[in-house]
A = this chain, B = another copy of it.
Amino acid sequence: MTATTRRIVLARFCDGPPVAEDFRIEEAPMPEPRAGQFLVRNILISVDPGTRSRLSGKPSYIPPLKLGATVGAFSIGEIIESRHPDFAPGEIVSLADGWAEHVIGDPRGFVRRITDRRLPLATWLGVLGVSGMTAWFGLHRVASLKAGETVVVTSAAGAVGSAAGQLARLHGCTVIGVAGGQAKCDWMTGVAQFDAAIDYKATGDLSAAIAAAAPKGVDVLFDNVGNAMIDQVIPLMRQNGRIVVSGQVDAYNSDESAVAGIRNTRAFITHRLMMQGLVVFDDLPNWGAAETAMADHMVRGELAGRWEVLPGGLEATPEAFAGLFRGENTGRRLVRLAPDPDDFPKDTS
């Protein structure tokens, strides 16, 4: 009897918000690592709104996923078989090989070894994973954040935004978070200690609300929403303001042609604005220092993660993903496929 594993493939192209029926669980032969690779049994897998942009079958900047292909995703797992001299069975790694019970790890692609046992394993898919790194390098490399500046973060209770706002606070900045709903606002001013939280669903004039919270103007906009949001904040920006294009929640679900445009560009000249996007893997050589600094903040209780781990295994994953687009998640959403190793602190999410 050949060993088998299970994975989730794209059953049909998404049209609008994804639903569980867009996906299918498939049984497959256990993958076999080649020389320089290893086999990983996944413990936690991530569901991420950014995945949506690859599921419509339409050519975009990123090649679309084909029908029947395994859905890509970040995960954390344990090496159970290795044909790589530097990686041994029992080691814990973070990698990006998809919604599957077993994946092949290859350090020529994206693999992070997790050796710091001070924090729950799930942390490494959230604050200390791609979300937190995007926040860190967006603020520090792209925006060259300076202490004393005023920072607006949008989708500020989300995985990236919650890290960005807290990192800006820890850097000595005034932080204004924008998100939808009172619960998220309570989290922002309570746990995350932002200076102000604005509920865009309850605020008639978002621009006026931000202006009231930022009387000196906005130095940095860390945006996870998209063009319409950026266009509203631009008139509030100070000289030499920076806009970090971190994510586009607004665009993942819709046709690009339906998305609003940024019209207030005259301020790019008059106010010397700069807008830049980032792909955080460009910063991979510098992740180690950022991980250490952020893990230290977390251990000292200065930086709160915002994630949830859903039970239910692979079967629960499509529905967990679909729920993101109904706003059901609390920060980064993970699905548990296997128990954590004993030598990590318990996950309290």
The interface of chain A, by Cβ under 8 A from chain B, is: 53, 60-62, 226-227, 230-231, 245-248, 251, 256-257, 259-279, 282
Contacts and interface: CB of A to CB of B under 8 A. Distances in A.
B272 A277 contact: yes
A258 to B, nearest CB: 9
Closest 10 A-B residue pairs measured CB to CB?
Answer: A261-B261, A268-B277, A61-B270, A269-B277, A245-B268, A274-B276, A261-B263, A262-B262, A275-B275, A261-B262
Q: Quickly give the copy total for this chain.
A: 2
A245 B264 CA distance: 12
A279 B270 contact: yes
A230 B265 CA distance: 11
A264 B262 CA distance: 9
A261 B231 contact: yes
Given A251-B266, A268-B275, 20 more contacts: A61-B266, A227-B262, A227-B263, A227-B265, A231-B261, A245-B265, A245-B268, A245-B269, A246-B269, A257-B263, A259-B263, A260-B261, A260-B263, A267-B277, A268-B276, A270-B277, A272-B276, A273-B277, A274-B275, A274-B276
A36 to B, nearest CB: 27
Nearest to A260: B261
A271 B231 CA distance: 21
A270 B245 CA distance: 10
Contacts of A53: 266
Given A272-B276, A272-B277, A277-B273, A266 B256 contact: yes
A60 B235 CA distance: 10
Nearest to A270: B61
A257 B263 CA distance: 8
A61 B272 contact: no
A191 B19 CA distance: 60
Contacts of A231: 261
A285 B62 CA distance: 43
Nearest to A274: B276
A44 to B, nearest CB: 25
A273 B245 CA distance: 9
A286 to B, nearest CB: 15
Contacts of A227: 261-263, 265
A61 B251 CA distance: 29
Contacts of A251: 266
A170 B264 CA distance: 33
A247 B269 contact: yes
22 contacts: A53-B266, A61-B267, A61-B270, A227-B261, A231-B261, A248-B265, A248-B266, A259-B263, A260-B263, A262-B265, A265-B277, A268-B275, A269-B277, A269-B279, A270-B277, A271-B277, A272-B276, A272-B279, A273-B277, A274-B276, A274-B277, A275-B276
A217 to B, nearest CB: 12
